């Protein structure tokens, strides 16, 4: 199995939700895992529980990111970190748009720039990019979020071109609604906001869980070394990404 090919991994957005769960799985698989996130307290708790190596760094701070990862050898890179926002481009602030571009897209490109050359030199590596159905389908949501996730799809395909002839695999995992903290953070991150988000977006729905995403990541990495799973779209059975909305104007 390819897990025996790999020794090290790096996971972004590692302090909570899908990121933390992916770190746990990769540690169970025997990899040395570098866990990257901004939340020092949660990251240290994860490190204490799993033996992962914590890196407290803001992905939007390229100088800090380069300094933190300088000289690091990584076989499996999981770009999981992501930010979103309520509303759309009509009421967006500059800070909200920049945050989504910086974390959802810019960091993905720079992590590839920093870590992919080593994979190419060793002729071995796997990049897993967590995108979203928001990047593939048009529905109501924040324009910048849709745009950055669509760009991650293109980056994923292009990285395969960039590494042609090398044993480098690139997988884009494209989830629908997953039970994470993201909606609660969008509403303010308070306990009340978290409760409101759960009632609004998850209560009564059969959403995906973090374990569903972890199993998908695990499946992609564990595939035979000659197999590249380029795109895996995973949605709840009761969620469909399509549909027609027609707004009627009376005057």
Catalytic residues: 145
List Cβ neighbours of 37 (8 Å cut-off, separation of 6 or more). 12, 13, 14, 15, 16, 19, 43, 54, 55, 56, 81
Q: Which residues are bridge partners to 8 per DSSP?
A: 32
List Cβ neighbours of 91 (8 Å cut-off, separation of 6 or more). none
SS3 state of residue 142: coil
Cα separation, 20 vs 29, in Å, equals 14
Q: Of 153, 143, 149, 154, which Cα lies nearest the Cα of 97?
A: 143
Radius of gyration of the chain (CA): 18
For the chain, list the strands marked E by DSSP. Answer: 8-12, 32-37, 53-56, 76-79, 125-130, 168-175, 231-234
């Amino acid at each position: 199995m390819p897990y025996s090919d790999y020794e090290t991994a790096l996971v972004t957005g590692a302090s909570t939700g899908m990121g933390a769960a992916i770190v746990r799985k990769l540690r169970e698989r025997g990899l040395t895992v570098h866990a990257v996130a901004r939340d020092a307290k949660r990251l240290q708790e994860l490190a204490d529980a799993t033996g992962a190596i914590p890196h407290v760094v803001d992905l939007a701070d390229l100088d800090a990111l380069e300094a933190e990862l300088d000289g690091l050898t990584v076989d499996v890179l999981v770009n999981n970190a992501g930010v979103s926002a309520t509303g759309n481009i009509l009421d967006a602030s500059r800070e909200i748009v920049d945050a989504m571009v910086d974390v959802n897209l810019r960091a993905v490109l720079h992590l590839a720039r920093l870590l992919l050359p080593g994979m190419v030199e060793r002729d071995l590596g796997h990049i897993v990019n967590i995108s979203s159905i928001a990047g593939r389908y048009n529905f109501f949501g924040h324009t910048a979020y849709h745009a950055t996730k669509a760009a991650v799809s293109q980056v994923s395909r292009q990285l395969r071109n960039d590494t042609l002839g090398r044993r480098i695999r690139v997988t884009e995992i494209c989830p629908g609604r997953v039970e994470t903290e993201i909606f609660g953070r969008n509403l303010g991150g308070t306990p009340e906001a978290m409760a409101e988000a759960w009632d609004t977006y998850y209560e009564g729905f059969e959403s995906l869980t973090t374990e569903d995403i972890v199993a998908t990541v695990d499946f992609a990495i564990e595939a035979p070394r000659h197999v590249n799973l380029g795109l895996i779209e995973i949605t709840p059975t009761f969620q469909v990404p399509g549909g027609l909305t027609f707004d009627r104007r009376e005057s």
